[in-house]
Structures are given as C-alpha cells and as structure tokens.
Amino acid sequence: MKRLPILLLLLLFPLVSSAQTVLNGLIMEENPDGKDMGLSGANVFWLDTSIGTVTDLDGAFSIPYKEEYSKLVISYVGYKTDTLTVSTNKPVKHWLKSNASLDEVVLKSRRKASSRSFIEAQNVINVSSAELLKAACCNLSESFETNPSIDVNFADAITGTRQIKMLGLTSPYTLITTENVPSIRGAAQAYGLSFIPGTWVESIQITKGAGSVVNGFESIAGQINAELQKPTTDDRIFVNAYGAANGRFELNTHLNTNVTEKWSTGLYLHGNMRDEKFDDNNDSFLDMPLARQINVMNRWQYTNGEKGFVSFLNFRYLNDEKQIGQINFDPDTDKGTTNAWGGEIDTQRIDISAKLGYVNPEVPYESMGLQLAYSNHDQESYFGLREYNIVHNSFYGNGLFNSIIGDSRHKFKTGLSATYDDYKELVEDTNYDRTENSVGGFFEYSYDNLSDLTVTAGLRLDVHNLLGTFVTPRIHALYKPWDKSAFRASIGRGKRSANIFTENQGLFSTSRNIVILNTGGEIYGLEPEIAWNYGVSYLQGFDLFGRRADVTLDFYRTDFQNQVVVDWEQTNEVRFYNLKGDSFANSFQIEFNYNVFERFDIRTAYKFYDVETQYASEKLEKPLTPKHRIFGNVSYETSLKTNGAHWKFDATYNWLGEQRFSNNSIRDYSPTVATVNAQVTKVFSSKFELYLGGENITNVKQDNPIVSSDNPFGPNFDTSFVYGPIFGSSYYAGLRFKI
Amino acid sequence: MKKAIAIIVLMFVGTVMVGQNKNAKATLDVDGVCMMCKERIEKAAIKTKGVKSAVWNVETHELSIIYDERKADLAAINQSIADVGHDTKEIKATDEAYNSVHPCCLYRDEDVQKDHN
C-alpha cells in the first residue's frame, strides 16, 4: 500500500511535465567580457519543423516546446548559425558569435555521448568522440572502459595487453573493422587494438549479435567498427600530450589541410613510450612492459558533391617494440639464456587502403562503393626460451551496390568480395604456413514500412579454399509498437578459422606444452569454427521525474557447432582440439540510463554470463569469465561559458564476480574485484583543455599474478591466471590543443 | 469537372508519351504542419504505385518525389495524398479524409497552425 502513492506520483509526473509547453531563453551577442548583451531580432526555430520565433528587444524569446523537439536553431544575419541540443524545457542562454570572428566553432550545448539507436534494425550502440574522451588513454583497447556492452580485461600478467570480450566471448569472435574494412584479425588479433591510437578514432559503432553480411562471414558475437578522423572534419591542428605516473608517455599530432577544393589530406602522428621499470608487487617481474611505438597515418580525401563522389586513400606505418619479463633481464646478454626470464615483441605493420563511394546525384537512393585494403603484419618475438614469429600478408576487396526495389520501403545491398591471407608462423621449432583465399557474393534486403517495422535479411555465399563453400544467413528485425520503444531480434551464422597461436599468445609466457590433438583438419590440423547467434533486445525510453531515461534488456545466445577448444585444464599443458559436444555462451544484460538533472548523467548495467564448453574431461564453465558483472558510470559537465569553457567530471565503477581458475592448485575461484576510474577535464576554451585522472583509484591488486615467479624456467611457471589489476592505482594528466 | 478533364488529359498524355522517364522528378505542394504529417504524407506518396522515393519538407511544404512515369502519374499521387487527408495544390482532401488525421495535425485550423509557428 505504501508504494501506491509513489506510483500515483510517478503517473502524474508526465502530465505535469507535458503541461509545461514553452521554452524560454535569452540570445546574446558574444563579447569578450561575457556580459549579457541581448540580441533582438534573432531567429529561433526547431530544426525540421515550422515552429519558430524571433527574439524581442532584450534578446528574450519564448517558443512552444514538445518533447520530440531536440534541436534548436538560432540564426541571425551577420552571426554564425548555431544548433543547440535541448533535452528539457529549462531556460536557454546562448551567445551568438559574429561572422567576423575567424573561429569556426559551432557550440553544441549537449550531445549524448553514447546512445543506442531507435531506428536501426541491428542492435547498434554508437560511441561518439565525446564518450571516447572519457577514457583519456590511449588506444582503441581502452576506449571501451566506459561502455557496459564490452568487457575489457588483461590478457596475461606479462604483456599488459588488454583483451576485450563481447557476449562473454573473446575478441576473435567479434569482427573488428576500421571504416568497415576488417582490420584487427589474423596476426593483429592479440595486440591490434593497441595499434589504433585513441585520438585517431572519431566514433565507434558496436553491433551486438550477428552483424550484416556485407562485411563478411567471420563475425559471431558482434561487430565493432571504428570510424577514423577525416581530413575535412578533423581539427586543422590537433595536439594531445599525455603522461602517467606509471611511466607512460604519449604524443599525438594531427595536421589537416585542404590541398585543392576537392582534395584534402591529413597527417596523423602517434608516439608512445614507457622506459621506466616498475615492480610494485616485488615478484621480480615488470608489472607493465617497457614499450615504444611509432605510428604514422596519412589520409587523402577527395570529395565531389556535385558528381556524388567521395574517396579516401590511407597509408599507415607502425613500429611497436615491447620488452617483458624480469626486471633484471637485459636482452643483449640474457636472450636465449636462463640468466633471467624475459622477452621482446617487435611488430611492424604497413596498411594501404582505398575507398571509393558514389551516390547518384539524380537518384539519391542509388549508391556504389568499393573498398580495397592491403596489410603486411610482421611480428618477431620471444618469451623466455620460446620463440614466436608471424608474418601475415592480407588483401581485402569489397564492391557494393545499394538501390531500391520498386520504392524506398524496399532497399537492397548487393556485391562481391574477395579475401587473401597468407600466414607464415614459427612456433618454437615448428613452421606453420597457410594461405587462405575466398571469393563471395552477398545480397541484403531490407524492408521498412515507414512507421513501426524494419526487417533486414541478408545472405552470402562464399567459396573458400580451406573453409569450403558455404552460405551465411543473417536476419534482423526491429518493431516499435509504441512511443520510444524498440524490440529487436536477430539470428545469424558465422564461420572462421582460428589462429590458435596468435589468439592465445599468453600461452608462450607459461611453461605449458602445446598439444594439438587433431590432425585431420586444414588449419593446424583443426576444423573451422562455426556458430549461430540468436538475440532479442528491448529498449524503452521514458520520462522519470520529467527527465529522460531509458532501459535496455538484452539476451543473446551463441551456439557453437564446431569450436577450437582451448583447454587449460591439464597441468603443464594447453591443448587445442575440435569441439565434441556442447559449447555455448548465454549473455543477459540490463542497462539503465538516466539524465538526473541538466548535464548530469548516470549509466548502470548488470550482466550475467553463462559460458560453458564441453572439454575432453568434462563440461565446464569458461575460465576467467565472471558470471556476474556490475557497471556504473556518472558524468557531469558545468554549463558552457561564452568562450566554451567548462568542467567535465567522469567516474566509472566496475565490479566482477568470482571467476573460475583452470587447474589452479591453490584455489578454484578468484575473489571478486571492484575498480574505480575517475577523470576531471578543464576546458579553458574551444582551443585548449587539460585533464587529470586516476585509474584504479582504490588501489585494488591481484596478489601474485604470476605463478611460480621465483622459478620462471621451472615446470609450473604461468602468467595466465589474471582476474584483476596487476598495477595498483595510477594517475595521469594530459592536454589537448586544437585550432 | 475541370479536374476530371485534367486527369483524363494527363492519363492520355501518359499513354501516348514514348521514352518515358523511369526516374522522373517532381515537386508537389502539400499542406501539413508537423513531423506526424510528414510521415503520413510520405507514406501515402510512396504507397502509390510507381513512386520510388518521397521526401516532404515541413517548412516549405514541398514534397520531392522520384517516380516511374510509365507506372505512375502526378494526379494519382496527388489523389493518394488527398485520400489520407492532406490538401495538395491540385486536389483538396475531402472533409472526411481531412478529419481522419490526428487532431494536432488539423492544418486547416488556424489555432493548430499557430501552435506550430
């Protein structure tokens, strides 16, 4: 009975809030002192509507407000037109910039940093550049720390590599693309995410569940696409410097310029290094590797709006060096000896890609695209006495045509793609060489009834020299029965060859023997992996106490028909074999987002994973995968001053339930882990900002992450039992400068 | 009567013309006030046989369409829009059709127009 009044109150709130139907505000002329100088006669209107008004003598205005309006456009002759994003009808105060000022900045008071789509059939989460700034450091692998759909953890206790998981499955099961070209795959699987600097990324799209057939047959758990900065939209000059108390330094520079009216180019330079040795847990091993990276990208963009052409050319060179192992290890004298345990991982990579897009200016629904990409990835490394080298040459081509059938309710995409991958691997004393190639065709039809239903059905047929000839179906549906709702369902199949060594590089930093049980297959003797993914999702937006909120419920199941089982259950062995029996991953997520008050947002999520595999011995839950996870993020921004100055505050909380250890003699399950990260940014103007942050500020550490660290050449040495942070709290500071 | 003649003439022209454009473009003036109207107008236009694409601009009240001249003519498109309650320059919607739109979309009403201005 006590709850009833609250319920009634809740029911009443929308009524009360809908009664306030006017947005009041004040438009002023920008001046250096920040004084209120009202601008009379400015036009104020809601974007895409005919609802508008004009400011009075004092610059004040009053405009009808409805919740569905979100973009308020303010324009006045001689001033720059600004578009404000408005989420409630709180009074607006805005300064218009005179056209005479050279500063090309459009003030956007509020943009949701991370959002789920209400209009796409696939379950896509868009992560904007504003969200990416919340994790100030440093590369793509760390960009997901404020996102509940992706889990980030350390791959091992030695290399400092972060591994991502989606729907409870490791990153090889997720297709990772840059600008829709598969990029982090093959030899780049282990460290590839750390080869894309964070500042290069403009936005990220995360698709849960089976993705589109357009990008290939490999994705199983989902797709992650990173859009990179583009010469025409990025800042003309951008500089970012970062330094952390844990000895890591980074420098990013972007230079963008228009060469001609149609051609622009951008040069993106990244360097990072850590040359200070830390061993805070006194196990004689470096807590983080020594590292040095140089990463250079040059992009050329051609835009011809009249003829409908857009084209990109990219060139990239990467050199990355890491030194791992014991603190007194010296590569010059100790390599290949048992003086001290250590290793080096040196990677060089070249990427060349070209994209051509054409939209028929006469018929805007007709478009064509061509993507070509070549990469050469060369990793030379040793881990103690174990050597591992891989060279991967890869070619990718995809041609795409979009049009309609009859009218724009029926759209289709069709095209052809080709891949070529050549691997040369040296694993200790054994050479593994393999060449894969495939040619495929795809067709994707999508139906949109223009109001509440969208269905996308795709099919592709591929002829692959090792995987055979096979069909990949994928279906997505979106249904919006009432306001602000979105029901989604998806089914899809994926198939891939597992690169067992590069995907499990942590095994080299153990004393475990490598055992491959099967010999009949084409890929290391093993069969290709095949899985089906099924998912349902429900998103509902609503008003809570007059503020925007939304809740999402997701359930996904991945069922493996065949899998390359990575079995750590035997002492002193890591075994690979074809799945016999069941292997599945169930993932349930509930997410709640709420805009508590102006510029203050909270995001919370709970996740439940049930990932089980039939091992040779018995059916077991996947090691080092917590069943329960809790995620929380709060962010607050102060209001913008005339010159764009404001403060930003952000904190993220992560809690992981206990995780199963495989054949660990000491204990079966890890303790639970809770970590907190926080960051403060002071924006001085649209040109300059400083940030300061702390990672793992409660200083949570895993005790003895390395098993048998006192005897690294002995039979029990193992660095794979990582369930939590190895390094304690660490603080960092950085700056961003842009023109 | 005039309209009927116009329609007949148009239909006649439609059958006589050779080498008709598969992707003909046209702009129609359609009355309406809001985003709900936009959805209703575009849906009505696109459901007309031969119409491939329809985009209505709420500010200018212009509906830009691409259609196949062999299968559709402008009169039929105007008619389908009028049938869902929106006046076009050529055809005024019947009162019955007009009254079927959502109350907030009653664009002939001055109060409703004012609300959206």
* B12 assigned to some structural domain: no
Q: B21 is written with which tokens?
A: 């454009």
CB contact under 8 A, A49 and B53: no
A199 close to A270: Cβ distance less than 8 angstroms: yes
CB contact under 8 A, A404 and B117: no
Q: Which residues of A touch B (CB under 8 A)?
A: 48-52, 64, 68, 362-365, 404, 406-409, 450-451
Residue in B closest to A365 by C-alpha: B53
Domain assignment of residue B33, given as a range:
21-115
A312 close to A303: Cβ distance less than 8 angstroms: no
Give the integer Cα–Cα distance in Å for A707 and A726: 13
Residue in A closest to B60 by C-alpha: A50
Give the integer Cα–Cα distance in Å for A167 and A534: 11
* CA angle at A86 for the pair A82 and A89, rounded to the nearest 5°: 125
Amino acid symbol at A295:
N
* B41 assigned to some structural domain: yes
Nearest to A196 by CA among A239, A147, A229: A229
The alpha-carbon gap from A409 to the nearest alpha carbon of chain B, in Å, equals: 8
CATH number of the domain encompassing residue B104: 3.30.70.100
pLDDT for res A18: 37
Which of A22, A44, A50, A403 best probes binding to B when mutated, by most B CB atoms within 10 angstroms?
Answer: A50
Residue ending a domain, among A96, A111, A134, is A96
* B26 assigned to some structural domain: yes
pLDDT for res A7: 46
CB contact under 8 A, B53 and A364: yes
Angle in degrees, 0-180, between the axes of helices B74-83 and B35-46, rounded to the nearest 10: 130
Residues of B in Cβ contact (< 8 Å) with A407: 46, 51-53
Structurally, chain A folds into a number of domains equal to: 2
* B13 assigned to some structural domain: no
Amino acid symbol at A387:
E
* A271 assigned to some structural domain: yes
CB contact under 8 A, A49 and B59: yes
Give the closest of B52, B59, B116 to A408, CB-based.
B52
Structural Rg of chain A based on CA atoms: 27
Which of A366, A407, A412, A448 best probes binding to B when mutated, by most B CB atoms within 10 angstroms?
Answer: A407
* β-strand pairing of A82-85 with A71-75: antiparallel
Give the closest of B33, B39, B53 to A365, CB-based.
B53
**Which residues of chain A carry a pLDDT beneath 70?**
1-20, 31-36, 48, 50, 77-78, 98-114, 117-119, 136, 664-666
Q: What is the pLDDT of residues A30-80, one digit of tens each?
A: 765 555 677 777 788 887 676 777 787 778 888 877 777 777 888 776 677
* B84 assigned to some structural domain: yes
Nearest to A606 by CA among A592, A625, A623: A592
* B61 assigned to some structural domain: yes
- How many CB pairs below 8 A link A and B? 47
Domain assignment of residue A64, given as a range:
22-96
Residues A326 and A471 in one domain: yes
Q: What is the pLDDT of residues B38-55, one digit of tens each?
A: 889 999 999 898 899 998
pLDDT for res A146: 84
* B42 assigned to some structural domain: yes
* B11 assigned to some structural domain: no
* A717 assigned to some structural domain: yes
A421 close to A437: Cβ distance less than 8 angstroms: yes
Give the integer Cα–Cα distance in Å for A171 and A23: 47
* A209 assigned to some structural domain: no
Tell which wins on pLDDT, B60 or A20: B60
Using CA atoms, how far residue B49 sits from B46, B57, B67, B77, B85, in Å, is 8, 22, 9, 9, 19
Residues of B in Cβ contact (< 8 Å) with A409: 46
Amino acid symbol at A331:
P
CB contact under 8 A, A404 and B53: yes
Residue in B closest to A404 by C-alpha: B52
* A113 assigned to some structural domain: no
CB contact under 8 A, A51 and B116: yes
Using CA atoms, how far residue A213 sits from A204, A220, A445, in Å, is 19, 11, 11
CB contact under 8 A, A451 and B59: no
Using CA atoms, how far residue A130 sits from A201, A347, A367, A436, A694, in Å, is 11, 31, 30, 39, 19
* A208 assigned to some structural domain: no
Structurally, chain B folds into a number of domains equal to: 1
Give the integer Cα–Cα distance in Å for A172 and A184: 9
pLDDT for res A77: 66
Give the closest of B51, B115, B117 to A52, CB-based.
B117
CATH number of the domain encompassing residue A29: 2.60.40.1120
